[in-house]
Structure 1
Amino acid sequence: MSENTKIVQCFLPAMVAGKYTTEVSQRVIKDKASIQDIKKTFDFGVDAARFTLNPNDIYSVYPPANKSGNYSESLPHLVFTRRTLPWERTLDGKLPVFQRASTPESKRNPQEAPPVPWMTLLLFDEDEMKSLQINRNTIAAIIQPNLNDGIIRPAIFETGATGQEVLKLMEWEDKNNGCFTIDLTKEQFEHYIPSMKSLSLLAHAKEVSIDNKDKEGITDINAEGAGVFAVIVGNRLPAKGKQHTAILVSLEGYTDYLQDADSKKNIPNNHKARLVVLANWNFTDSGNASFSQLADGLEVKSIKIQRGNDAPELMSYFNSGYVPLEHLTRTGASTISWYHGPFVPKLFPATSKCISFASSDAALRYDKTTGFFDISFAAAWQLGRILALQNQEFSKAILNWRMAQNQLEAGKSRGDKLNTILSDDSETNIKDKVTRYLGALHEIEMTSPVETISDLPMTIPQEVKHFLGNLYKLNGIPFSYIVPHEFLLQKEHQKNTGSYTGTLALFYVDPNWIEALLDGALSIGRINKSDALLEQAVNGNFIDGYQTQSIDISSGTIERKGRRLNTTGFLLRSDLVSGWRGLEITAFDADGKLLPALRFERIDSDIFLGIFDGNIADITIKQPYEGLHFGIKNNSTYLKNLKNEDGTNQEITDGTADVNAELNDGLIQNGVIDIAGLASIMQEKLTAKHWMNTTGESKGIYFTSAEFAYQMIDSPVKKSITINVLNTDSHE
């Protein structure tokens, strides 16, 4: 499908959940004769999610939770962070069918007997949910059979409760533990629950490149560095213009009710089936706000307040990224001061040499025009100092390192003084030489040696490097320091769609603000304002993977070689971020070169931050590959084309390269798709057109969930944005 994605039928765990017995044998042989045979049997259990699901196991859902948009042409799906989760249990508690043979040679091919997930994703609209309710319950309310209350329960009974061959609780499972359940009527169960064959087609896995993603929450990574996800897809399309509830339910213990028609067990009339609810979320189909519409509606701007036409004398401040903030002085007086964070709309040139402050007050600047203070660098300096003091690992490491430097310098000075005295060939008597030496030692102690440029070769502690590198990338900085006013990153509400126009705010990183932040961090335990370590830090040399500038200290002063990091970036505030976790974003310079990301992550539910080494000229936003939609066009009729091996369609209109007629002929009823029937027709048509891989022994006869997913998914939506709002003029 793409170099970014590989679709896999399934990833099975080494052992599915359940109870196992292992036998250990030992035979003692003497003189070629057995004198003792020892056999021991051990019982053990393998656990997996069952009645509840860890929220961290869910990476993303679609349609997005609590959002409104155009969702009526896509089947709901849920993406798991663990590749094996849908197959870690079986419906009947036994080994998967293809593993049940008595000998390895007789095991069946998993493509012939595909593993069936133990869960499915249901969808109900607002009218149906009026008679349905998700209830808080206990495991006891699921496993107790024969209560004569008209409720059919999964075959998970307590030991001794029935003589049937049923699933049991594990020793560590308590029937009083809580869970959620939903009771479906006989008609709802039979219409909405997929068949056994359909279930096997509604779960697959994906291996996805994560190079251009926020990696938070991605826990399953293969040997090539790709993220591995499992996906569960529903079998029902959302209705247009309605609110919906998607519900992930467990089907464990319902094997008899999911069999083929000949062996299927039916739910009695006037009975309900109780299912364990593992997850649920709501969304509304409003006919608007699709991924494409949200991406096209982004407002691209510089990170500045775009107001003040009625006060033109303030525009120069706003255009430089400043905002007026209330300032409570140390004496208790209330005033207004100018402040800008590390992100500015203009290129602020770095100072020719490092500037170190003795205190935050020393970093204050007074603006004569407005009579306000500029507290930007003072706030950055004080914040750096506070964060450094909060980090015990850093503060201890930097103090110990400074002490070691002082001792090293003092020892070197003592040695130099002693060598000078000893090499004195004059006729000065020994008493005067000793007196001179002791006086020199006293001078060394009184001057309290501090770190100097010559100390840079001394190994810098890793804790210091790590903290300063993270601080350079603004990790741990409160958001109010980064974006001090909501007008800098504002979403506009669209009354006609109910959604918001997103904002893509572009910025330069002010190197002087970063320098003040780092200087504040390095101020703890420092006696002399001159700090060679600061020069290293502001060059970005402590960022993992970067060594931007070497330091020449041979002349006794710092001479810069190479370059400092030229950092630009963006803040994206949009429903794209909250609705499509795993959003793929790439930034390029004017030459089309991919820019390396210094920081790249979602910092709030709907805010994404990217900081790059280089000038951004183009940004590309792409749908996450692990969550590509299972799409069926639905205008007045259903439309679905088939894809050949390279993912294209030859624009054939004779019905041999689509399933349009079949979809409109009964494969979809009340939005519910006959998945097994659809897959069978797809396989038949693909085979007839030789659009399936017919190499090897299979000759194209297998059509698993991977092939089905390949045919059903839509191509990812891609939005390219050319940047022309960054002002490259230097700040005056």
Structure 2
Amino acid sequence: MSEITKIVQCFLPPMVAGSYQVTVDQDILRNKKSVQKIKKAFSFGVDAARFTLNAADIYSVYPPANRSGNYSGQLPHVIFSRRTLPWERTIDGKPPVFQREETPQQKQTPQVSPPVPWMALLLFDEDEMQALKINLGSLQDILPPSVPDTVIRPAISKESAFAKAELTLMEWENETDGCFTVDITKEQFDAYVPSMESLSFLAHAKEVSITHKDQEGILDTDADKSTGMFSVLVGNRVLTSGKSHTAIVVSLEGYAAYLKGATPKKEIPKGNSVRLVVLAHWNFDNSGEANFLQLVNGIHTRPMKIEKATEVAHLKSYFESGHVPLGHLTRAGATTISWYQGPFVPRLSPATSKKISFTASDGALRYDRTTGFFDVSFAAAWQLGRVLGLQNQEYARAMGAWRLSQIQEKAKNTQRDTINSLMNNQEAITVKSKLIQFLGVTTSTPEKIEVATTASIPEEARSFLTELYQLKGVPFSYLVPHEFYLEKEHADSGIMTVFYLDPNWMEALLDGALSIGRLDDTDHILDRVLSEGLIDGYIDQKSNESKTDPDLRVLNVTGFLLRSDVVSGWRGLEILAYDSDGELLPALRFERIDDDIFLGIFNGNIASITIKQPFEGLHFGIKMDSNRESNRYQKNLKEDDGSPLEASREAINVNNELNNGLIENDIIDVAGLASLMKQKLNPVAIAQNKEVHFTSAEFAYQMVDSPVKREITITLNVS
């Protein structure tokens, strides 16, 4: 599909969940004759998700939960954070068909006898949900009742004895354990629940590069942590009506006999309802025009400053530099206003050529006589660094021990140098006099102890300072002090504010952290931390353009804050930043820091940003013709590279069949559509000498929409 995405039919666990028994036979021989035969059986169970899912099991859903948008023609789907989840159980409690002893040898592969997931994704509109209710109950509600009623329940017994290929509660499962259920009608079960064959096409897995993703919530990765493994469950109902909908992930364990394609098939009596275990559910509205393409195209860029116009000329420079006036309560209890600017600034801000350390936050205050206000930016950064340093006990202890070791090393060197000087003194004085002179030197208090800073900074300190440089742990209000910085033009739009990282603010933050147990030469330590690259990823470049001071340092670190519904609705966005030469910039920090806010900080100057739809969450569906009198549904098949598949210069499609029986009441006959696709693709595959297999991976590839991306040109202010 692409160089960073691979669709896989399935990832099967070594053993599916259930009850197993191991029998051990031992024959003890003496002189080649059996004297004792021992036979023992051991029973054990394999557990997996069953009646509930952990919140971490679900990576994302589509359509986005609690959102409105244009999702017509698409199929709902849910992405699991574990590659094996849809196949960790089977709906009948037996091993997958291709692993069973009675399966013919020619069918003992997943491609020939595909595994069937134990769950399905059902979709109901707002009218149907008026008669349905998702109830919180216990396992007792799904077990066979003592008195027969009109509710069909899964074929799961409450007996706890181990029995191979039999669905029972396991020893660790109790009837009082909670679970959600929903009762649907016989007609809804027959119409909406996919057939056994269709189910095998509605679950697949994906291997996706996660290098340029926020990796929070990605739990299943390869050995080098560069590829994420996901499993995907797709629904079979096309979204058409502009209504509210509820998507429900249900367990089909214990319902194998009721599914279409079962042999023999059990019929649900008329008037009966079917109780299904609800594993997850979410709501959304298929209304409005918002979709991924519209949202990503609606992102506007601007510098990191408040765009509010002001008529006061002497205040304009403050707003242009990214400052904002905030309420300030002084130590004396007076209420005033002070200027504040966070670490994100709208223009390149060179640092001073000499690093300055402060003994207290008040030393970093700046007073503007023009406005009569204090600028508390660096003072706030210094105090915050100190508080965070004290809060991190490992860092505080490591810095204290490191400083003490340096003082001891300096004292030892001073003592050695003094002894050597006295012993090498050739003056005619007695040993007693030399001893008195030595004691007088060592007990005197020097005016200043210069601590040697040649030893390596402790790893705990390096780690903490690196995270602090990446602004991890810094409250969001320090980064973005006012909502106007990220104010969107309208609800469906997005805003991307771009910024430079202010080296002066960062140095004040680091200096505050280094002030713990301060000595007179802390500024030398700060100089090492910054100039000698002791913080991973710190860029300290000499400015060749400065004629007045060629040693003036420039911190070429830039970034963006993206606020948009595309962040909250599409988890796992791929965002890449490039410089003016088209080189990919390495990220110092790259993560979603709020529901709809994404932060990226990069080494170098950003010239362009590319936002890509997450590959693990590409949409599945068909095109809907706006002309109701012509074919309503359209689906063209495609080549391996995504281009339309052509035979005799006529695009191969399944449009006629889609509109003549393969879709009824918006429900797709998935097995029939997959079979048709295979027939259409067969001649091409044979001509190319390819082995013909059409599994859920091939079906997903044909059903998936092309990925959407947008390239944004960034203009940074360097004046």
Out of 692, 710, 715, the position equivalent to 1:719 is: 710
Partner of 2:358: 357
- 1:477 equivalent to 2:467? Answer no
Cα shift at 1:432? 2.2
Please state whether the residue corresponding to 1:330 is helix, strand or coil.
coil
Partner of 1:189: 189
Shift in alpha-carbon separation, 1:145–1:703, aligned structure 2, 3 A: farther
Residue pair 2:5, 2:207 contacting (<8 A) in 1 also: yes
Cα distance in 1 for partners of 2:262, 2:387 equals: 70
Q: Decide which moves more: 394-403 or 35-44.
A: 35-44
Shift in alpha-carbon separation, 1:24–1:312, aligned structure 2, 3 A: farther
Output one character per residue of 1:234-287: Cα deviation in whole Å (capped at 9) or x when no partner.
001123321111100000000001142763211100000000000000111124
Please state whether the residue corresponding to 1:500 is helix, strand or coil.
coil
Cα distance in 1 for partners of 2:411, 2:184 equals: 81
Output one character per residue of 1:342-397: Cα deviation in whole Å (capped at 9) or x when no partner.
00001110110211000000000001110100000000000000001111110011
The correspondence of residues 104-503 of structure 1 with structure 2, limited to 5 A, is 108-145=108-145, 147-159=147-159, 166-223=166-223, 225-260=226-261, 263-443=264-444, 449-452=449-452, 455-456=453-454, 458-493=455-490, 499-503=491-495
Cα shift at 1:166? 4.7
Output one character per residue of 1:301-352: Cα deviation in whole Å (capped at 9) or x when no partner.
0110001233343221111000000000111111000000000001110110
Cα distance in 2 for partners of 1:579, 1:164 equals: 43
Cα shift at 1:34? 4.1
Shift in alpha-carbon separation, 1:316–1:296, aligned structure 2, 3 A: same
Structure 2 gap ranges (5+): 543-548, 627-631
Partner of 2:621: 631
Shift in alpha-carbon separation, 1:343–1:534, aligned structure 2, 3 A: same
Cα shift at 1:622? 0.2
The residue type equivalent to 1:538 in the other structure is L
Residue pair 2:462, 2:534 contacting (<8 A) in 1 also: yes
Residue pair 1:540, 1:547 contacting (<8 A) in 2 also: no
Partner of 1:72: 72
Output one character per residue of 1:213-243: Cα deviation in whole Å (capped at 9) or x when no partner.
0011111111353100000000011233211
Residue pair 2:21, 2:164 contacting (<8 A) in 1 also: no
- 1:648 equivalent to 2:643? Answer yes
Cα shift at 1:434? 1.3
Out of 590, 605, 608, the position equivalent to 1:615 is: 605
Residue pair 1:91, 1:118 contacting (<8 A) in 2 also: yes
The correspondence of residues 529-608 of structure 1 with structure 2, limited to 5 A, is 529-539=521-531, 541-544=533-536, 546=537, 565-608=555-598
Structure 1 gap ranges (5+): 494-498, 552-558
Residue pair 1:549, 1:560 contacting (<8 A) in 2 also: no
Q: CA RMSD in A?
A: 2.4
- 1:673 equivalent to 2:663? Answer no
Please state whether the residue corresponding to 1:690 is helix, strand or coil.
helix
Residue pair 2:350, 2:552 contacting (<8 A) in 1 also: no
Cα distance in 2 for partners of 1:77, 1:160 equals: 34
Cα shift at 1:713? 0.6
Residue pair 1:71, 1:287 contacting (<8 A) in 2 also: no
Shift in alpha-carbon separation, 1:653–1:299, aligned structure 2, 3 A: farther
Cα distance in 2 for partners of 1:616, 1:470 equals: 22
Partner of 1:556: none
Shift in alpha-carbon separation, 1:381–1:222, aligned structure 2, 3 A: same
Cα distance in 2 for partners of 1:281, 1:691 equals: 43
Cα shift at 1:412? 0.7
The residue type equivalent to 2:220 in the other structure is D
Residue pair 1:25, 1:38 contacting (<8 A) in 2 also: yes
Out of 491, 501, 504, the position equivalent to 2:496 is: 504
Output one character per residue of 1:518-554: Cα deviation in whole Å (capped at 9) or x when no partner.
000010101215433312333483444x475799xxx
Q: Decide which moves more: 652-661 or 83-92.
A: 652-661
Q: TM-score, normalised by structure 2?
A: 0.94
- 1:708 equivalent to 2:699? Answer yes
Shift in alpha-carbon separation, 1:36–1:106, aligned structure 2, 3 A: farther
Output one character per residue of 1:82-117: Cα deviation in whole Å (capped at 9) or x when no partner.
000000000011111111116996771111110000
Cα shift at 1:635? 2.5
The residue type equivalent to 1:242 in the other structure is K
Give the paired residue count.
Answer: 706
Shift in alpha-carbon separation, 1:469–1:669, aligned structure 2, 3 A: same
Partner of 2:37: 37
Shift in alpha-carbon separation, 1:105–1:639, aligned structure 2, 3 A: closer
Cα distance in 2 for partners of 1:113, 1:382 equals: 65
Q: Decide which moves more: 408-417 or 152-161.
A: 152-161
Please state whether the residue corresponding to 1:531 is helix, strand or coil.
helix
Output one character per residue of 1:132-169: Cα deviation in whole Å (capped at 9) or x when no partner.
111111100001246433100000122299x9985100
Cα distance in 1 for partners of 2:507, 2:535 equals: 14
Shift in alpha-carbon separation, 1:548–1:323, aligned structure 2, 3 A: closer
Residue pair 1:539, 1:564 contacting (<8 A) in 2 also: no
The residue type equivalent to 1:489 in the other structure is L
Cα distance in 1 for partners of 2:701, 2:61 equals: 19
Residue pair 2:498, 2:560 contacting (<8 A) in 1 also: yes
Cα distance in 2 for partners of 1:688, 1:50 equals: 42
Cα distance in 2 for partners of 1:183, 1:463 equals: 56
Cα distance in 2 for partners of 1:611, 1:182 equals: 46
Residue pair 2:450, 2:521 contacting (<8 A) in 1 also: no
Cα shift at 1:563? 7.7
Output one character per residue of 1:393-425: Cα deviation in whole Å (capped at 9) or x when no partner.
100111011111110111011001111111111
Cα shift at 1:660? 1.1
Output one character per residue of 1:443-491: Cα deviation in whole Å (capped at 9) or x when no partner.
2x55573534xx22x1321110000000000000000000000000112
The residue type equivalent to 1:168 in the other structure is T
